[in-house]
Amino acid sequence: MESGQPPEAPTPATAPAAQKVWDVPTRLVHWTLAIGIATSWWSVENKQMDIHYWSGLTVLGLLVFRLYWGFGGPETARFSHFIKGPAAVFGYIPKLFSKNYRAAFGHNPLGALSVVALLLAIIVQVGLGLFASDTDGLFAGPLNRHIDYDIAKDVTDFHEDFFNVLFALILLHFAAIAFYIVVKRINLIGPMLTGKRRGANLTGPAKGIEPIPLWRLGIGVALAVGVVWFVAR
Amino acid sequence: MKMKLFATAAILALGLAACGGGEPAPAEPTPVAEAPAPAPEVAPAATTEIGAAPADIPAFMKTRHDNYEDIGKNMKVLQDNMKLDAPDMAAVTAAATKIKDYAAQMGTWFPAGTGPESGIKTEAKAEIWTDRATFDGTVVKLQEESGKLAATADAAAFKAQFPVMGGTCKGCHDKFRQEDK
């Protein structure tokens, strides 16, 4: 009715600041880990055990790097930054539903639990896989020869079963991302791709994470490659 | 994708719960003699006939299962040695000979009444009985390739032949074995 006033055009003179939340190695490891796990699942379902062998070892390398990066990486990748006690975790839930909710700088205390659970599950799954053997007796994990047949069979069964635990955690991860998009209108996938978060209600330092010297990255890569080489040799 | 993944995972879980990973259980095949059979050549017992049902079907199937388990154990010996720069050729020959001996009698492990219709948990598919000629063909292949493996004298020959023999296992499993999932 009363036109005249154009709808408020939200064209802020100053674009919202872009805060860097995820560094390149963390993002790269995240996505390659996703691909590695998907490949491991696909290959074993399709009896491509040679692919499974190498995708599993790739996951191992990525895992080693990520664990190291939890100490040597930038703030948001560090375990000491995001692993919080029960008080912070429970305190986060009412905050999540409060009006002036602010997205966390990196992992929030609840999401951190999911990260830890996923990492632990991957450790277990990869660890079991190193000792497992396929049912034809043709392919075996690199450490399979150190255990005997009956134990290897149990380990292999557990390796197969345990995927369900990992898979459930992955589904929970997806569900949480969907929740943030749908309910909180916060896109978590974008920052994991670009490394940056835009918005007015950021927390943490305005610029985001500090750069990490290259030598620290080098140590992580060497460590990951070294562990995989040591295991597979 | 997710759903498919989930469904697969669920099926996987169910299957896993179902069986401790047994192989198709042969009915009452006599366990292979401990001593490596002296016969240097494999005598492929290509029986295109399906034998009569054994008297004690469950016992027969249990023995068949145990025999496949034992083949699995010997496969592991071979697999372990594959990873060594200097394989223990005595162990390799012993394991390969055992597999060869099992293979020689494998054609008799699937008489009438010892398939899924027995109601006993087995990974043996009904196709073993409906497509007997193909099945026997795969058994003959295993006999030939395990014979060659048992005859390998050096590490290089062993490492070249093991995957070939293993391929015959897989070839048969893919067609005739219902994985316990």
Which has the closest alpha carbon to B129: B142, B117, B140? B117
Give the SS3 label for residue A15: coil
Give the SS3 label for residue A53: helix
Which has the closest alpha carbon to B18: A200, A125, A160? A160
Q: Do A161 and B13 touch (CB under 8 A)?
A: yes
What is the predicted pLDDT for the residue at A111? 93
Q: Residue B19: which pLDDT band, with cuts at 50, 70 and 90?
A: very low
All structural domains of chain B with their residue ranges: 22-176
- Interface with chain B: mutation pick from A52, A125, A144, A145, highest number of B CBs within 10 Å: A145
B22-176 CATH: 1.20.120.10
Choose the CATH number for A19-205+213-232 among 3.40.50, 1.20.950, 1.20.1270, 1.10.540. Answer: 1.20.950
Which chain B residues have a beta carbon less than 8 Å from that of A167? 5-6, 9
Q: Write the burial class of residue B45 (CB in 10 Å: 0-12 exposed, 13-18 middle, 19+ buried).
A: middle
Give the SS3 label for residue B124: strand
Which has the closest alpha carbon to B26: B120, B99, B101? B120
Q: Does B171 touch chain A (CB under 8 A)?
A: no
Report whether A167 contacts A175 (CB < 8 A): no
Q: Which two tokens stand for residue A8?
A: 């408020």
Which chain A residues have a beta carbon less than 8 Å from that of B2? 171, 174
Report whether B58 contacts B120 (CB < 8 A): yes
Which chain B residues have a beta carbon less than 8 Å from that of A145? 79-80, 83
All structural domains of chain A with their residue ranges: 19-205+213-232
What is the predicted pLDDT for the residue at A135? 81
Q: Does B156 touch chain A (CB under 8 A)?
A: no
The pTM is what? 0.80
Measured in degrees and rounded to the nearest 5, phi and psi for residue B40 equal: -70, -40
Element (H, E) at B101: helix B89-106
B106-154 pLDDT per residue, tens: 999 999 999 999 999 999 999 999 999 999 999 999 999 999 999 998 9
